Amino acid sequence: MIRLFLLGLSVLLAAGCGGSDSSAPAGSGDLVRVSIDKKNADRLLAYYFGGYASSAGADPFETGLLQRVDGSVFLDRSAFAALHPGMVAALDPIASDGDLGWKELVDFFQATYYDARNVPTSLATLETEAGFTPESGWFEVAADGVMTVARRHVFVPEPALREAIAQYKARDEQVLYPIGTTVFGRHQQGEEILETTVMRKRDDGYWDYFTYDQAGQLAAATSTEPRALKTPTQCAGCHLGSRPFEPERSFPAEAADGPHGPRAIYVPAALRNGEIVSFFDEHRKRSDTLLGLYATLYTAELVAQREAGTLSQEDADLLNALGI
């Protein structure tokens, strides 16, 4: 009887500990080691696996999709299979040795990310969902930079931009956009739209990245020169990093041309306001991982309107809240 009791007790203890048992070796049971040799590994794990943990985006450790065991990180295959049964066929071949390296993960994310995020396959559908009408209610910035030789026309919804500015001081001087904010970037040659990149903010504070081709269909990468950029892995690589980019780095001064052409932000001279640039320090701080100067330029436009005597009272209140 005592022997049976002890045996039963050991089974109950094992069941209670489950995949979180710190003595579990790499690859034990349904735990697959995740090996990322990156200085910002935790942030990358939170971003990528957070997109698989919930349709809205969630902390993958809090949901149990990822677990820490003796200082290592493991993916719970059973938890993943329960969330994404249709993706197990893509996961199992690369997880069969009990270890997921970074290169394997990049290929896996490229193959499954859009499905995990339930991204509309049509740009028209996404534009409708976001209420994208560039003629009204969207702040537009045109720029040439390092991402593409095409001119980028970026559209940020004004209500989201104004909220980020209004809450700037309350949020420890960070430009943070509301959950669900969608930003469109059209890559153009003249009036011809060659492709469109999109960022949409998740509930966990990270952004999803989408690319649509010239026909408005979902694409795995950009296609314009100087090189194709994979979505989302190369998008996240820049946005979650710390490297400053031109022409934002030099603004309000003009940036020098790059190896593939001009690098410039096309705005009126009145918006090249050095005081506002310094006030937000937007590109260097990249508080919300948007790399543009949208809050800076929008606020500089309001300051220019005030100097011209055309500023509305609502906009004056917004500047007063900033102390500008």
- Please tell me the distance from the alpha carbon of residue 82 to that of residue 75, in angstroms, as a whole number: 13
Report the predicted TM-score, pTM, of the whole model to 2 decimal places. 0.89
Residue 28 pLDDT class (50, 70, 90 cuts): very low
Residue 251 pLDDT class (50, 70, 90 cuts): very high
Higher pLDDT, 258 or 3: 258
Mean pLDDT of 136-142: 97
Check pLDDT > 80 for residue 177: yes
Residue 198 pairs in a beta bridge with 184, 210
Contact between residue 212 and residue 55 where contact means Cβ atoms under 8 Å apart: no
Average pLDDT, the chain: 90
206-245 pLDDT, tens digit per residue, is 999 999 999 999 999 999 999 999 999 999 989 998 899 9
Residue 67 pairs in a beta bridge with 74
Rounded-to-10 torsion of CA 112, 113, 115, 120: -140
Q: What pLDDT was estimated at residue 22?
A: 35
Check pLDDT > 90 for residue 8: no
- Please tell me the distance from the alpha carbon of residue 157 to that of residue 324, in angstroms, as a whole number: 22
Check pLDDT > 60 for residue 161: yes
Beta-sheet pairing, 99-101 with 31-35? parallel
Residue 159 pLDDT class (50, 70, 90 cuts): very high
Half-sphere exposure at residue 31, Cβ-oriented, CA atoms within 13 angstroms: 22
Q: What pLDDT was estimated at residue 29?
A: 55
- Please tell me the distance from the alpha carbon of residue 181 to that of residue 153, in angstroms, as a whole number: 17
77-114 pLDDT, tens digit per residue, is 999 999 999 999 999 999 989 999 999 999 999 999 99
How far does Cα 225 stand from its chain's mean position? Answer: 22
Q: Of all residues in the chain, what percent carry a pLDDT higher than 70?
A: 91
Mean pLDDT of 10-37: 54
Mean pLDDT of 21-48: 75
